[in-house]
Structure 1
Amino acid sequence: MNTLKELYEYREMIVSLIHRELRGKYKASVLGFLWTFLNPLFQLSIYTVVFSIILRAGIEDFYLYLFVGLVPWNFFSASVAGGAGCVVSQENLIKKIYFPRMVLPIACVTSAFINMLLTSIITFVFIIFSGRGVNVQALLWFPIIALIQYIFTLGICKLSSALTVFFRDLEYFLGIIMMAWMYLTPIMYKIDMVPEDLRYLFNLNPMTSIISAYQDILYYKRVPNFQTLITASVIGIAFLLLGSVVFNKLQKKFVEEL
């Protein structure tokens, strides 16, 4: 409760950091904030060519199936990659003034989350123009699964940002982990394409249940499986608590390590 109260007192700093992150990301580029939409579109184009024409995934409206999973994955990936160095990159600020260090991963994840919500606009445009339409009842679950993913991602970001202060190589190692993690998540293939004797391993992946929920809502136009939501919620809350505990314990030594 003390941590939450302190974070509330520094809410203006969090908003300022989010604003700076959003504005500074593409500050020197010509197209600026348009890259928020262009990056996933370029990814979509490349993966669609590879898996629709060359490798032939055999999924109907593959571009739509891919985009539904790719947008939330990009949010998760960007948060973990950026969050790993969010404390280290603010070394001068941390040494000069006091503020709750937890505002750094919160600002990092929230700015990436806003980017995801903006990019989701393109997803809805694709859905409408594809002629598949939407299920309004299912769509009501979108904010819920987005919140669950935010909670889970924030927990992972707190863990990675705190541990990177003590193990700097972790920031680079995470790049390898995220690449493998992406291919172990049913974004470019359906989970039922995985051999049945190995499927349980893929279901242990926390992002499997989250991505599956997005696919249920936006691609299959159905209410997410209740068990999937429960699994995603429990995992999300567990990682948020674990990340908070580890971050609070390690932040006492941030200054001397930096």
Structure 2
Amino acid sequence: MIEDIMELFKYKEMLKNLVRKDLRTRYKGSFLGFLWTFINPLLMLLVYSIVFPYLLRIQEKNYAMFLFVALIPWMFFSTSLQNGVNSIVWNNGLIKKIYFPRLILPIATATSGLMNCIYSMIVVIISLMIMDVSIKWYVIFLPLLLFIQYLLVLGFCIIFSCINVYFRDLEHILGIVLQAWYFLTPVLYRVDVLPKNLQFALKLNPMSALIISYRDVLYDGKFPNVMSLVYVFIFSIFLLIFSILIFNKLKIRFAEEI
């Protein structure tokens, strides 16, 4: 494990270049280019501001922002996993041509997703101020939430990327799983609207704890649940260690399988 980290450090420039490449090519060929990183969340906010309060008659005060602060981290999670599962397969030419630590590929995907989420969070904070949602000092916990979510996303990206080399159906299965996962995560609703037994089960989902914490510090202006964050952090660390161990066992035949 320590050897992997030391080797990754030697290839840090390659990691930086892969992240830059992903961010630049995300909207390659479009007229507005990288500005879409900011325009996309703004357009989403506009749609939610119209659809939910007026057409669906949601009772939550300022529901557009209630949803917005949760949707951005969910998009970071789901998009990163969907891209991460193919991070090895899509770079088969690079793998066959040169040597580099293969872990860099899923790490670059997760890091790119994090950077895009950070840019989107700037839009979220500005939107909160415009929509007259009071931003309190609890917002200082935002970097901690992003860090914990990054560890979680990274663990999933690593393990899914190596399994997908041998089992290509995984990317299609993952798409279906993420749809179900979305509704089992309190993005559209508050957990306390559910029965008590379902609330407990839902909170075992690590993304539930993160989404609730994002909403606590950004929308509700209160202290996040420390025990929930500790749970997600420990879960993410164990997932990350496990995923690296599996990755190291499977990476030996990457070039042959892809």
Q: TM bucket by the smaller chain?
A: over 0.9
Q: 1:131 to 1:42 in 2, by over 3 A?
A: closer
For 1:146-161, list aligned pairs within 5 A. Answer: 146-161=146-161
Q: 1:48 to 1:204 in 2, by over 3 A?
A: farther
Query: Residue type of the partner of 2:154?
Result: L
Q: Which residue of 2 aligns with 1:198?
A: 198
Q: Does 1:66 align with 2:59?
A: no
Q: Which residue of 1 aligns with 2:102?
A: 101
Displacement of 1:135? 1.3
Alignment check: 8 A CA contact 1:51 1:188 kept: no
Cα distance between partner residues in 1 of 2:46 and 2:179 = 18
Cα distance between partner residues in 1 of 2:172 and 2:39 = 25
Alignment check: 8 A CA contact 1:213 1:224 kept: yes
Query: Residue type of the partner of 2:41?
Result: P
| Structure 2 residues not aligned, in runs of 5+ | none
Q: Which residue of 2 aligns with 1:121?
A: 122
Deviates more, 1:74-83 or 1:237-246: 237-246
Alignment check: 8 A CA contact 1:87 1:104 kept: yes
Alignment check: 8 A CA contact 1:185 1:202 kept: yes
Displacement of 1:117? 0.3
Displacement of 1:236? 1.5
Cα distance between partner residues in 1 of 2:90 and 2:67 = 33
Q: 1:43 to 1:129 in 2, by over 3 A?
A: closer
Cα distance between partner residues in 2 of 1:3 and 1:215 = 35
Displacement of 1:48? 4.4
Q: Which residue of 2 aligns with 1:133?
A: 134
Deviates more, 1:236-245 or 1:36-45: 36-45
Deviates more, 1:39-48 or 1:144-153: 39-48
Q: 1:13 to 1:65 in 2, by over 3 A?
A: same
Q: Which residue of 1 aligns with 2:12?
A: 11
| Structure 1 residues not aligned, in runs of 5+ | none
Deviates more, 1:47-56 or 1:112-121: 47-56
Alignment check: 8 A CA contact 2:139 2:218 kept: yes
Alignment check: 8 A CA contact 2:52 2:64 kept: no
For 1:51-62, list aligned pairs within 5 A. Answer: 51-62=52-63
Cα distance between partner residues in 1 of 2:50 and 2:204 = 29
Q: 1:56 to 1:241 in 2, by over 3 A?
A: farther
Q: Which residue of 2 aligns with 1:244?
A: 244
Deviates more, 1:67-76 or 1:126-135: 126-135
Cα distance between partner residues in 2 of 1:232 and 1:200 = 15
TM-score, normalised to structure 1, is: 0.95
Q: 1:48 to 1:166 in 2, by over 3 A?
A: farther
Query: Residue type of the partner of 2:57?
Result: R
Cα distance between partner residues in 2 of 1:129 and 1:207 = 27
Cα distance between partner residues in 1 of 2:109 and 2:28 = 17
Query: Residue type of the partner of 1:215?
Result: R
TM-score, normalised to structure 2, is: 0.95
Displacement of 1:32? 0.9
Cα distance between partner residues in 1 of 2:130 and 2:95 = 48
Alignment check: 8 A CA contact 1:57 1:189 kept: no
Q: Does 1:24 align with 2:40?
A: no
Displacement of 1:55? 3.3
Q: Which residue of 1 aligns with 2:218?
A: 218
Percent identity reads: 40
Q: Does 1:233 align with 2:239?
A: no
Cα distance between partner residues in 2 of 1:194 and 1:251 = 43
Partner SS, residue 220 of structure 2 = coil
Query: Residue type of the partner of 1:43?
Result: M
Cα distance between partner residues in 1 of 2:210 and 2:99 = 36
User: How big is each residue's C-alpha offset from its partner over 1:5-63, in whole Å with a ceiling of 9 and x where there is no partner?
Assistant: 00000001000101111111111111211221222333334444443333333211111
RMSD: 1.4
User: How big is each residue's C-alpha offset from its partner over 1:131-172, in whole Å with a ceiling of 9 and x where there is no partner?
Assistant: 222112x11211111100000000000011111101111112
The number of residues matched between the two structures is 257
